[in-house]
Chain A
């Protein structure tokens, strides 16, 4: 049993603009070190599923267990702490804080965690940036970077607390093909060589194909 994430019988409803069931009895599990792609047409519920798994969305039926912890039913504050410790996020847009430098952005989740001193965190952040080949830009304001560079910084930020799962929502969706390729390779490297667990939502079939496993959703149900 090296399953790191288990979801059982997830049902999710939207009530606006009218009652609508987005996810219908979805169950899945992800093993440690696995690279999973969630694909499906627009409106299939793939992003919704990711946000349930990431604990950001708590309005659902069913249970989700991550690394032995049942996250379903926990308070928002506990979940915030849980995400900080265990999950890394990469979104379609980079969402870097524009007033801060690249380095400060990467350090932020670790400072929130407060497990290490400022010096150690800084060293770790530089190390993660090196991994993304972005260490040369550490002192720059994050707003001064190109889209591809910003996304790489965002990935470095996702890695800073050594999360057990990286959750990505269309990480290449807003990038040109060259930068998308770079991000592909980074994810590939993280999964194959660094042993990270990755769950990513994508509509890019090339990207999806690199994954260990593809999970396709259609009308809120898993196709397997």
Chain B
């Protein structure tokens, strides 16, 4: 009964000022809806980037880093005499081989590790793609396609042909879709590849893949490891990189460090490789939260304002209620419940509107683009956003309503009633 009468007064106040109530509710609704739309879209973008860029990079990448150390010269060895000072001006770097020595042993050793899902040796080189008079700069990755498929989800990215087709063909090549388009080639066509050192080989296209990032799809191809070794005139054990996929990629950083120490080659984890992309994700998240928070705070100020105005208008009512025996907490209840009602209805409507807007955005076709292969705007639908929005909306309105309600409860009836 006690709660009943307070809520009854609260309800009557809200109903008697419909316009004001609706405006306050709309403030919360738009705040929440925009929050949901923004976070769904931004997380959609982040998720996409993680799925493409981060999945396209291995958890750990082991390679032989180019060392630019010119301190030692063979001249020292030649004039082996401690009485002579040998100075070589402007030395040229000696010919260095970037391969990983004892790659077989390292791969076998890594494979013994229980946290490792896949290990893929890699030999990469820059090439010119020639098809008729067209010549395009790019690179090829010589891989063991079975291992590579396990490592990078390549099978899912294939738009034509199958990844294993590479094994069956002698000089097969799986080409990026954007690159194939530029060269105007189709599956089954022959392209010739020229290395910087001048050797040339012809490959037959067995399939096309699309990662979704122009930066990869327009320049990259996969061939068999042996083909690249042949192209570069290297022996069968010559590889430059080892890629590793872990069961849990959160452990990549520490694993990479231990591998670097153990094998003596540089080992980068995926976070280091994608530092720029990670920073982008972080900035987008930050932006989303700042803008959403601002929207909700503005809505909160709207409620604060309306509640304050309402309480100023109802000083007499509050005074007489207190004289009649309504305690301070009753007054707080009467006014805070109005604020919470506005918050609740506003948040519910905001969740609905947010969902509708998100859904509509997810059906909007993304402008055709070479760089990013989006059919529609990427939007995620996760219950946690909606729960978070609800909680956030209720909290905002609670705090917006609290101060005016407490102020109302502190009104001294004597001052008002004496006139």
Contacts and interface: CB of A to CB of B under 8 A. Distances in A.
Interface of A: 47, 51, 54, 56-57, 76-77, 80-85, 89, 91-93, 95, 97-100, 108-109, 111-114, 157, 169
Interface residues of B, number: 29
Nearest to A94: B320
Interface string B2-43: 101100110011011000000000000000000000000000
Contacts of B324: 83-84, 89, 108-109, 112, 157
Contacts of A100: 12
B325 A84 contact: yes
A85 B326 CA distance: 11
B326 A80 contact: yes
4 tightest A-B CB contacts, nearest first: A84-B325, A114-B1, A111-B5, A95-B320
A57 B326 contact: no
B418 interface: yes
B319 interface: yes
Interface of B: 1-2, 4-5, 8-9, 12-13, 15-16, 316-317, 319-330, 413-414, 417-419
Contacts of B328: 76-77, 80
Nearest to A99: B16
A108 to B, nearest CB: 7
Contacts of B316: 93, 95
B341 to A, nearest CB: 16
Contact of A77 (B12, B321, B327): B327
Contacts of B8: 111
A85 B325 CA distance: 8
A99 B15 CA distance: 9
A111 B4 contact: yes
Given A97-B320, A100-B12, A114-B1, 17 more contacts: A47-B418, A56-B323, A77-B328, A80-B322, A81-B327, A83-B325, A84-B325, A91-B320, A97-B317, A97-B321, A99-B13, A99-B16, A108-B321, A111-B5, A112-B2, A114-B2, A157-B324
Nearest to B322: A80
A51 B419 CA distance: 13
20 contacts: A47-B418, A56-B323, A80-B326, A80-B327, A80-B330, A84-B324, A89-B320, A91-B320, A93-B419, A97-B9, A97-B12, A97-B317, A99-B16, A100-B12, A108-B5, A111-B8, A113-B325, A114-B5, A157-B324, A169-B418
A109 B417 contact: no
B419 A92 contact: yes
Contact of B414 (A57, A99, A112): A57
A56 B5 CA distance: 22
Contacts of A51: 414, 417-418
B413 to A, nearest CB: 5
Contacts of B1: 111, 114
A89 B323 contact: yes
A83 B321 CA distance: 11
